[in-house]
């Protein structure tokens, strides 16, 4: 029983941190995309090169955001399975005794 609780606590912590990373990546992606739009308004080859780098960074951060969301959803599924297994196991013990 304690092992289930420890596992659930660890998964809950990981899920929380993934959600934080997802939020940060999303915010940074938006900022990078805004920088790209601002920098492309100038007629300067150096700034346009920087804008392209900003656009690439925005894409990568967007990908990280989606990866974090997918991992967080998997963890929620695992936590639900543990909750189901834990209550099912308790029910089985009650039936056999």
Per-residue pLDDT of the chain (97 residues; tens, 9 = 90+): 688 889 999 999 999 999 999 999 999 999 999 999 999 999 999 999 999 999 999 999 999 999 999 999 999 999 999 888 766 555 454 444 4
The pTM (predicted TM-score) of the whole model is: 0.77
Contact (Cβ atoms closer than 8 angstroms) between residue 35 and residue 78: no
Compute CA 46 distance to the chain's CA centroid, rounded to the nearest angstrom.
Answer: 34
The pLDDT, as a whole number, for residue 2 is 80
State both tokens at 55: 């656009």
The rounded distance, in Å, linking the Cα atoms of 81 and 84 is 5
The pLDDT, as a whole number, for residue 9 is 93
The rounded distance, in Å, linking the Cα atoms of 60 and 29 is 8
Query: 3-class DSSP state for residue 97?
Result: coil
**72, 67, 41: which is closest to 54 by C-alpha?**
41
The pLDDT, as a whole number, for residue 77 is 95
């Amino acid at each position: 029983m304690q092992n289930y609780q420890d596992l659930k606590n660890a998964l809950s912590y990981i899920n929380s941190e993934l959600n934080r990373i997802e939020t940060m990546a999303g915010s940074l992606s938006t900022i990078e995309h805004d920088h790209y739009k601002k920098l492309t308004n100038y007629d300067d080859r150096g700034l346009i090169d920087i804008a392209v780098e900003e656009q690439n960074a925005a894409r990568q951060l967007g990908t990280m955001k989606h990866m974090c969301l997918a991992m967080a959803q998997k963890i929620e599924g695992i936590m639900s399975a543990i909750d189901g297994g834990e209550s099912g196991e308790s029910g089985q013990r009650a039936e056999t005794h």
